[in-house]
């Protein structure tokens, strides 16, 4: 994902993923490991454009 999201946003995502995986797949929460990788937008290519040159037409603040 692009870098810059709030710590609480990332924690919420991890909590939700663990809960949903556990409930949907019946996998013990002790067997689930999740790692988020954040990279600068300049390391991405999206829709034929470098990520930091991409015009999303909306603001992301999470």
Residue 44 lies in a domain: yes
Total tally of structural domains belonging to the chain? 1
pLDDT band at 61 (very low <50, low <70, confident <90, very high): confident
C-beta separation of 21 from 27 below 8 A:
yes
User: Which residue range forms the structural domain that includes residue 33?
Assistant: 7-53
Distance CA 2, CA 39 (A): 5
Residue 24 lies in a domain: yes
User: Can you name the residues that pair with 46 across neighbouring β-strands?
Assistant: 49
> What confidence tens digit (pLDDT) does each residue in 17-50 have?
999 999 999 999 999 999 999 999 999 998 899 9
4-12 contacts: CB < 8 A, separation 24 or more?
4/38, 5/38, 5/62, 6/62, 9/62, 10/36
Residue 61 lies in a domain: no
**Position with higher pLDDT, 28 vs 1:** 28
Residue 2 lies in a domain: no
């Amino acid at each position: 994902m692009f870098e810059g999201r709030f710590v609480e946003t990332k924690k919420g995502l991890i909590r939700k993923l663990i809960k949903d995986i556990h409930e949907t797949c019946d996998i013990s929460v002790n067997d689930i490991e999740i790692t988020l990788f954040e990279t600068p937008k300049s390391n991405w290519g999206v829709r034929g454009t470098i990520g930091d040159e991409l015009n999303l037409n909306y603001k992301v603040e999470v």
